[in-house]
């Protein structure tokens, strides 16, 4: 079975978590999706690049989620989520996926 790149998992968690929360009007469901994808990505990061990289990228993932909220006031909700998701995906690709 082909491995899904961690950059795609992480970006999908941010976008999917927001989309689920918005569609269902239940922020908790979006949070579950966000956390699940984050856990899968963190596991891949650790396995592929070690604990230090996994901790750094997990911190970035959480910071991107938190930072998307104030950024949304300037850009709008979807552009903000797209921006932070692209940033996390790029960092994940650069640190982990391009090596694979």
Domain that holds residue 86: 6-99
How far apart (Å, rounded) are the C-alpha atoms in residues 78 and 36? Answer: 21
- CB 9, CB 37: distance < 8 Å: yes
Residue 1 lies in a domain: no
pLDDT band at 99 (very low <50, low <70, confident <90, very high): confident
- CB 97, CB 45: distance < 8 Å: no
Residue 71 lies in a domain: yes
pLDDT score of 51: 98
Residue 94 lies in a domain: yes
Number of structural domains the chain divides into:
1
pTM: 0.94
The string of pLDDT tens digits covering residues 1-28 is 458 999 999 999 999 999 999 999 999 9
Residue 86 lies in a domain: yes
Q: What's the mean per-residue pLDDT of the chain?
A: 96
Residue 29 lies in a domain: yes
């Amino acid at each position: 079975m082909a491995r899904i790149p961690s950059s795609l998992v992480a970006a999908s968690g941010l976008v999917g978590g927001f989309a689920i929360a918005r569609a269902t009007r239940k922020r908790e469901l979006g949070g579950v999706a966000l956390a699940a994808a984050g856990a899968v990505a963190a596991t891949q990061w650790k396995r592929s690049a070690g604990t230090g990289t996994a901790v750094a990228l997990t911190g970035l993932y959480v910071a991107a989620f938190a930072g998307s909220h104030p950024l949304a006031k300037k850009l709008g909700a979807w552009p903000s989520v797209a921006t932070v998701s692209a940033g996390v995906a790029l960092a994940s690709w650069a640190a982990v996926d391009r090596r694979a």
